[in-house]
Structure 1
């Protein structure tokens, strides 16, 4: 069976990555390809790596151009996707790669995004407990943020197993500059980024903070509070998240048992891999793929679990998560269009 898929925001990084994956999907025919300021341009001018689609012209991002497809992927800035989604038929599978429909708490949305909450859609991270059933047959899906994807994959098994304290969680994550989008920003110029690292969103101000807390609270069955600090790394794509949490004093957990919680959680997952002991994640190991690699250790001195997780922020962290969730919603093989390895060196 073939499904027609339209992609908005196709001139940006997330939209371009979605097209890269969808162009080789065995069950997809690519329909409308749209943009805003770049409408009328040839896709090959803006996404020269998409050879099979290079001749296509970008259309205006309107409900009229997106309607009539089985699936619409919205790779738009927050605020824009909710407005567009509201104009699309309920029978269309709409996948929002933006933030508009991720949060359940309207107050948290208003605090971090400064606008009215648009509502909550099924969350497109199949690896979370019980999430696959919510995605099967869904007509609206909210793709997770890239930092939440790596952070939730890192810590979810420990909270689901009841091993970790809920109020002493620290996450420090480094991302490539593509995570900030494609629009020109002086601090993201190559001369500014290459050869150095810098923090941002320090002090609990990053917008992904409530999203990470939401997912970990779901896994724990109780509210989880985190301290999250993102950093900008001198690379174009990739995320390496290092997350630590206090192990419950009464849990009686030894290092082997702690590690086993992660091994058991992911042993049947097609895209999440707990590395052999002694091997640590690198962003290069997942470059261009929908895979995540992680390692867990126990810091006996501090009584903390330490987990490092690497993903490609544009693939598993955005477009790959969208396609994986789309497959579930349409009743396809979950790995369709995604079962390829990373690029090296």
Structure 2
């Protein structure tokens, strides 16, 4: 067999032990050190009222992923947890889940970020199960795109884009000079990717906080690596390893439906907390946040008149909104600030 390539890649050859379903296998792993990035749309997307979460069950089809000591396929575990998470998300008003795969079929890792770009997603969550050559390692971990990889994605995207105005949409009409356009495009896109990385890291910490209530964490802080699935340019993306399928006890746990549900629930809770704190503008959750009354917690030295002056509201209206007859307030008391 001859494989002709149009660029240099890192190649590894594996001979795998035969299994009942796959027989004798030779796996050639071709890793592109510089994969083509997913281009952004030239037109500004229409903001979906729902917060869109793309769920990516790792592996699938001819790619079983890691195989546990008792023959458990990673691809089945990841799909099951993903469907549980999808159900939780779609039951929550204001959230909508999109699956990269809904059955046992193969999707290239390089194609998976395209789902996030197509859906104008607010988050991509890729679910996997770790494996090691020895059975001892165990626990979950959360991964984000390394800064070096992200920066190189930016460079390649700018080089491969015929005109940098494709990154800017209608804003490019305001820029006449092509050199200025290029630097402006690079600046805006770089800021966007920095924001995406920051959001990815933030939600990763929340996932770790929730997951450690369910399972031991192999890594207690977010890790970074060059995973192709995390390269959607403007979508915060995380890869969650739910445990080591190569560990006999964790393989047993992952085959327990109630345990998988607990993992899915922990992922849902972290997503819920993250987007309740920072809902994207134009979404239902952002509207609900904006409609919430402003509240103020009284601190030492503050009086009712001082609070009224700070928020520029009438003192009588402040009393009425909080059912206060005099001017006394207690330290730690929460006051509702009436609208203007």
TM over 0.5: no
TM-score, with length taken from structure 2: 0.24
TM-score, with length taken from structure 1: 0.23
Higher helix residue share:
2
Q: Which has the larger radius of gyration?
A: 2
